[in-house]
Structure 1
Amino acid sequence: MAIPDLNNFLKSFFTAHHCSLLLDQDGVLTIQLTEEMDRALMNRPFYWHYMKKMGHSGEPMQLTLITNPNKRDDEGEWIHFGSPRLQQIIGYLQQQEKYTKLFQKVNPTVNTALYPWLVTNIKVSYRGKYKRDELFSIGLNLINGTMKSDMMKILDSIPLHTTISDFCYTLSPLVKLKSGYRRIEAVVDQYIENQNHEWASEALEELQTEIELLKYFYTSDNDNEQMEKEIKEINERYQPRITYQVINGGLFYLTSEIV
């Protein structure tokens, strides 16, 4: 259910923001950025300020991202779950485009129904001795309850528009949004519950080892306050925990063909 294909996630992100894909081969993705994406990702505020001041349009940069571990030493930027670049992209989605409503673009000659899908992209974070993140993209049909994983991959092949096409109409959801989101949460919860959580046991062992080592060095009662402070820091660093947050999502009105 987690997004195994980071390359596809990146393709969906950049094509949705009108960037051209110059290369997409074996986990190497070269993107021609738009001005908007250059401003958002490339940290060149002074360049764009100067270009606008001089009355020039400016030239957005190209960006090469590598998702294939076997290609990580090639020319480009190695990107993976937890990497700063991916966090930057996720942060942009959270700040700028958390919710949306889009319609499948079709050209029917008769009245055509569009089904409401609640689509949610979720980041699950595992924290303990080590840190790890997973991305989930889940779609729920709000008419019949059908649920699909890797929904971003499905949407990548569907033309979408902000306005509904002629001869189309939307069906009213039978599953309420709040109830639908709870169903998605339940699936994520079940996925997490079924995972191997040996990492959490290792984190607790490391936590206990660190505390015992710390206590060994603190023998004076006068040091209790400092020791408790450091124990608290160790707990914050090693205590295993799992959290998840919605990156973005929305309502997508689609034909029945993907059901």
Structure 2
Amino acid sequence: MKIEHLNTFIIEFFESQGCEVKVVEEHLIDIKLNKELDIALMNRPFYWHYMDKLGKQGEPMSLYLYTGDKREELNREWIHFGSPRLHQLFNYIQTKSKVSILYEQTDGNSQTALYPWLIMNCKIKIIGKQSKDIVGSYGLHLLNGMMCQNMMKQLQERTLQRIMTDYSFTISPIITPTSGFHRLFHYIENQIIQDDLTWATKSQDAYDEEVSLINHFYEQQSDIGIEWYNNELEKLEERLKPRVDVSIINAGIFYLTNDFQPS
């Protein structure tokens, strides 16, 4: 089973920002940037300054990405966990609306330390013979690395606000948000792998059976072209090939009092 969370994250991120995204084939993604993301990602401020000075619209650049597991000899940028480009995207997200910074309300009468948690709400899409969507909420303590599930439910009894209460102060994180996202993705991946994978086995068996039928039909029908064959295999893989996509709905850095102990 392959977990395509990075592929899905990149596609959904750029589409949500209004960029034109084209999936050429598996792990090959073409992205036409808009002006805002060109400025944020492509490091050419003088170009846009010059265009603005001339009153011209300017032409954003494109990204040609490869998201596979290992380096291929392709004329593309390899984006993976740990790559500078992915760090750029996470840093950009932290400054935009998808990421909130909230503080737990305190009594305002005494010095109170607030500890940083990275909270991520995500959609886990199980794809196969029987597909389903799961919405999950996960938390990572950015000092000690503790991870937990159902984070938003566990925070229901706490009052969170955008401004710190008087006499509260924050503790600086040891784990960076970029590293935190990486840890949470692996945490979710490991959970899925350790879960009951009967659905994946059944989906793979159904997929293999359908491939055999298509192969047999293709071999018997000499008038059917390779284009039909490839299209049928592509549709079959989309429908039955077992996989899991994980995508971020929203995320935030929540500063909580030390008495918060998730179950």
TM-score normalized by the length of structure 2: 0.58
Letter in 2 for 1:125: K
Task: Work out the CA distance in 1 between the residues paired with 2:111 and 2:134.
Answer: 40
Say whether 1:248 aligns with 2:241.
no
Q: Secondary structure at the match of 1:163?
A: coil
Task: Work out the CA distance in 2 between the residues paired with 1:179 and 1:152.
Answer: 21
Report the counterpart of residue 231 of structure 1 in structure 2.
Answer: 233
> Would you say the 8 A contact 2:129–2:239 is kept in 1?
yes
More relative contact order in 1 or in 2 (CA 8 Å, sep 6+)? 2
The Cα offsets for residues 151-191 of structure 1, whole Å up to 9 and x where unpaired, read as 10122111111111111111111111122222222211210
Structure 2 counterparts to residues 113-132 of structure 1, below 5 A: 113-132=113-132
Q: Secondary structure at the match of 1:203?
A: helix
The Cα offsets for residues 66-114 of structure 1, whole Å up to 9 and x where unpaired, read as xxxxxxxxxxxxxxxxxxxxxxxxxxxxxx9521111111123121111
Q: Please report the RMSD computed on the Cα atoms of aligned residues, expressed in angstroms.
A: 1.9
Say whether 1:107 aligns with 2:107.
yes
Q: CA deviation at 1:216?
A: 4.5
Task: Work out the CA distance in 1 between the residues paired with 2:180 and 2:97.
Answer: 20
Task: Work out the CA distance in 2 between the residues paired with 1:101 and 1:118.
Answer: 10
Structure 2 counterparts to residues 124-163 of structure 1, below 5 A: 124-163=124-163
Task: Work out the CA distance in 2 between the residues paired with 1:121 and 1:240.
Answer: 23
TM-score normalized by the length of structure 1: 0.58
Q: CA deviation at 1:235?
A: 2.0
Q: Secondary structure at the match of 1:223?
A: coil
Task: Work out the CA distance in 1 between the residues paired with 2:115 and 2:207.
Answer: 50
Task: Work out the CA distance in 1 between the residues paired with 2:233 and 2:176.
Answer: 46
Q: CA deviation at 1:231?
A: 2.5
Q: 1:143 to 1:211 in 2, by over 3 A?
A: closer
Q: 1:147 to 1:208 in 2, by over 3 A?
A: closer
Task: Work out the CA distance in 2 between the residues paired with 1:191 and 1:248.
Answer: 20
Task: Work out the CA distance in 1 between the residues paired with 2:160 and 2:176.
Answer: 23
Q: What are the ranges of 5 or more consecutive residues in structure 2 without an aligned counterpart?
A: 1-95
Report the counterpart of residue 220 of structure 1 in structure 2.
Answer: 221
Task: Work out the CA distance in 1 between the residues paired with 2:232 and 2:142.
Answer: 50
Structure 2 counterparts to residues 12-91 of structure 1, below 5 A: none
Q: CA deviation at 1:215?
A: 4.2
Q: CA deviation at 1:217?
A: 4.2
Letter in 2 for 1:149: Q
Task: Work out the CA distance in 2 between the residues paired with 1:197 and 1:113.
Answer: 43
Q: What are the ranges of 5 or more consecutive residues in structure 1 without an aligned counterpart?
A: 1-95
Task: Work out the CA distance in 2 between the residues paired with 1:238 and 1:190.
Answer: 22
Q: Secondary structure at the match of 1:102?
A: strand
Task: Work out the CA distance in 1 between the residues paired with 2:212 and 2:187.
Answer: 39
Report the counterpart of residue 51 of structure 2 in structure 1.
Answer: none
Q: 1:170 to 1:232 in 2, by over 3 A?
A: same
Give percent identity, aligned residues only: 32
